[in-house]
Each structure stands twice: as structure tokens, then as C-alpha cells.
């Protein structure tokens, strides 16, 4: 691995407010976004969001599945680099579920990966290891 995996995630409260609004607006469908920021050792700081369209191929399943178009990922990566930042991971919502990775989330995510899941209970961050083991919850630090 070329980087130290995160132990803690930091984000401004307003960024999480925007993510929550994005996820609520998409309900009952799953919302998705890319997390842009910087790594400082084991502290990963989320500094920007790139909201994405849920491009899951079967529209009737978007209430419990999501996909991010690879072209959107490339655009977000270019934008992040222009800001001196990088893609840290992805966020998505569970409109009617808990903020923990589902079996489908684990199956479709290429590890290692940072995954933020938004649910009405609040957001939770997870680290997915390679080779696969149980997802590890990460601590949050809220910044002003």
C-alpha cells in the first residue's frame, strides 16, 4: 500500500450538512458522492464533495443500489488535482437502512477503500481492507 490507511476522518460540519441534504433530496433513491480532500498520515481530511448521479443500470433498483459513472470519477479526479487535493473515497446513502456497509456494498467496492454511508441515524465512515476482512469503523473529528 502506498499510503497509510486512515484512523480518523475530519470534516467540517457544513460539509456533512450539504451531504445530508443531497442524500435526503435523492430519497427514496440512494444518493452517491465522491469525497475529496487530503491525507495527513492516519488523519484523512474531507474538504470537498463531488455529488454524483446514481447510474445503477436498473432504475427501479436505485432505491437500494447505486453506481457512480467512471466518467464522473475521472472528472472529479481532475477537479481535485486542480485544487491540490485527491479523491479519498465515496459516499452513498441508505435511505431506509443503517449506516453500515451492506453485503452488496462490500461485494462491489474495490478495497482498500474509504466508504462513508449516510443514513437518518447519521453518517458513518468505514475502512475496507484488502484482502477483505470485516469493515473497520473510523472515528470522526468535526472541524469548525
Whether the per-residue pLDDT at 1 is higher than 80: the answer is: no
Quick check: 99 and 72 in contact, CB under 8 A?
no
Residue predicted with more confidence, 133 or 20: 20
Task: Name the grid cell of 79.
Answer: 477537479
Nearest alpha carbon to residue 66 among 52, 51, 56: 56
Residues 6 or more apart whose CB falls under 8 angstroms from that of 132 comprise: 106, 111
Q: Is the dihedral of CA 71, 54, 106, 100 positive or negative?
A: positive
Average pLDDT, the chain: 93
pTM given for the model:
0.94
- % of the chain residues with pLDDT over 90: 81
Which CATH number is correct for 8-143, 3.40.140.10, 3.40.1030.10, 2.40.50.140, 2.40.110.10?
Answer: 3.40.140.10
Quick check: 117 and 138 in contact, CB under 8 A?
no
Please write the tens of the pLDDT for every residue from 17-67. 999 999 999 999 999 999 999 999 999 999 999 999 999 999 999 999 999
Amino acid at each position: 500500500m502506498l499510503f497509510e490507511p486512515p484512523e480518523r476522518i475530519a470534516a467540517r460540519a457544513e460539509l456533512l450538512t450539504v451531504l445530508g441534504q443531497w442524500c435526503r433530496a435523492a430519497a427514496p433513491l440512494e444518493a452517491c458522492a465522491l469525497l475529496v480532500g487530503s491525507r495527513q498520515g492516519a488523519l484523512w481530511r474531507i474538504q470537498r464533495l463531488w455529488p454524483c448521479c446514481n447510474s445503477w443500470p436498473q432504475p427501479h433498483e436505485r432505491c437500494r443500489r447505486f453506481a457512480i459513472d467512471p466518467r464522473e470519477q475521472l472528472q472529479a479526479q481532475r477537479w481535485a488535482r486542480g485544487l491540490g487535493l485527491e479523491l479519498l473515497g465515496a459516499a452513498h446513502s441508505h435511505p431506509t437502512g443503517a449506516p453500515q456497509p451492506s453485503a452488496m456494498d462490500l461485494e462491489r467496492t474495490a478495497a482498500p477503500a474509504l466508504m462513508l454511508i449516510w443514513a437518518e441515524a447519521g453518517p458513518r465512515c468505514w475502512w475496507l481492507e484488502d484482502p477483505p476482512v470485516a469493515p473497520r469503523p473510523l472515528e470522526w473529528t468535526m472541524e469548525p
